[in-house]
Chains A and B, each alone.
Chain A
């Protein structure tokens, strides 16, 4: 059981598909558990050939100069051998302060939760930050244009899948509709299609079949508080499995 779970975690870690708690768990295991590190190494080896299918690109000469300039600020330091779960260097120049790169903080907590999870026989899937509801918004020509993910804690985010041209003097407005009596409610206003967290916190928790849509509105949003412009994309919420 555990080895199947670990193999899946290792494979999805190498694919880059893990998020949230599962990602923290994989990085903690990678640092602490040599057997798991071997599973990861095996998957890296299996898939490495795919990297060779990317067409090589000549780097600009300035790139090496910048790297060389960066070397002066740092000396090699002793670290643990895992590239994916690096230790914090003794000195941390600004580039290295990026939390999303190093993610060191969650490791101890993740390791602790792993012990608990194994002890209790709890599957780690539940701890993952998988969305509870997913809405795929389709454009007028029925192509997936954006995804709305609603997480178990109610947080709802918009993730675009395409570029949408926004004319000068216009805005994109995100609406949701769960009650025909109440009508559509604005949950976001954008000058360009990009990832944002939608403002649903004061509304009832989203439910299956709730409608999301994006319309083109005058800059600053619809003057009437209801959609007035063309619908650029829309979709209804599905329960994530």
Chain B
């Protein structure tokens, strides 16, 4: 897996309200607004989806479905309840996870090994290393034991289930579950 040396910056609050304005225009039926969201977000979304579902065709399908969902549900976005980019990425992740957990499961396993997932340790560490050094998330993830950090990061970025994490980390399911729970508690406190 190739990671960029410096990740895309997290959108600024300004970018967020910009996205919110575009969503409001989508809700009013303005296709150009959806296109502008697509131009700005589709490459990042495709990258996130590809890392989750691992197959290019499925990742493109996830992005396709995500933009149709954004279009259809734009009127339901409420800026008072959260950021527009977070809302759109939540749709993407939800769709990708459903692909992972459900309909395409059988196809996915065929492509599991060639993508370098067998060696997860360095991958999870590389993801953490790609986080901004100045960011709180990196500082807080680095406070976790390496195994807990790895479990949390792989669950989020690669969509691994508890069972898959147990298999990959060679640990009982209960151990992995408690690692994640403990890890999340530490993260919550650290990021508060």
Contact = CB atoms under 8 A, between A and B. Distances in A.
Nearest to B109: A160
B71 A76 contact: yes
Nearest to B85: A48
B73 interface: yes
Given A80-B76, A192-B110, A241-B175, A50 B156 contact: yes
A71 B64 CA distance: 11
A33 interface: no
Nearest to A8: B181
Contacts, number: 245
B94 A44 contact: no
B102 interface: yes
Summarize B's interface: helix, strand, loop or mixed. helix
Given A101-B95, A160-B112, A163-B110, A241 B172 contact: yes
Contacts of A47: 137, 156
Interface string A32-64: 001001100100111111111111111110011
B173 interface: yes
B29 interface: yes
A76 B81 contact: no
B171 to A, nearest CB: 9
A157 to B, nearest CB: 9
A19 B161 CA distance: 9
B38 to A, nearest CB: 6
Contacts of A44: 82, 86, 89-90
Interface centre among B65, B82, B135, B164 (most CB of A within 10 A): B82
Interface string A139-165: 000011011010000000001111100
Interface string B69-93: 1011111111001110111111101
A89 to B, nearest CB: 6
A134 interface: yes
Given A149-B163, A160-B112, A163-B113, A53 B184 contact: no
B35 interface: yes
A46 B138 CA distance: 11
Contacts of B59: 57
Nearest to A37: B81
A100 interface: yes
A144 B167 contact: yes
Contacts of B85: 48
B173 A63 contact: no
Given A15-B155, A86-B73, A147-B166, A240 B112 contact: no
B63 A81 contact: no
B90 A71 contact: no
A76 B72 contact: yes
A238 interface: yes
Interface string B30-61: 01001100100011101110110000000110
A17 B73 contact: no
Given A15-B180, A67-B67, A163 B47 contact: no
Nearest to A163: B113
Given A83-B87, A100-B103, A7 B127 contact: no
A68 interface: yes
Contacts of B73: 76-77, 79, 83, 86
Given A15-B156, A51-B89, A57-B46, 11 more contacts: A17-B161, A17-B162, A51-B93, A64-B42, A71-B71, A78-B75, A82-B76, A83-B76, A98-B98, A144-B170, A163-B111
Interface of B: 2-4, 7-10, 26-29, 31, 34-35, 38, 42-44, 46-48, 50-51, 59-60, 63-65, 67-69, 71-78, 81-83, 85-91, 93-95, 97-98, 100-103, 105-106, 109-114, 118, 127, 130-132, 135, 137-138, 152-153, 155-157, 159, 161-164, 166-168, 170, 172-175, 177-178, 180-181, 184, 187-188, 191
7 contacts: A54-B48, A74-B72, A86-B76, A101-B95, A147-B167, A160-B112, A163-B114
Q: What 3 A-B pairs are tightest by C-beta distance, nearest first?
A: A241-B174, A79-B76, A54-B47
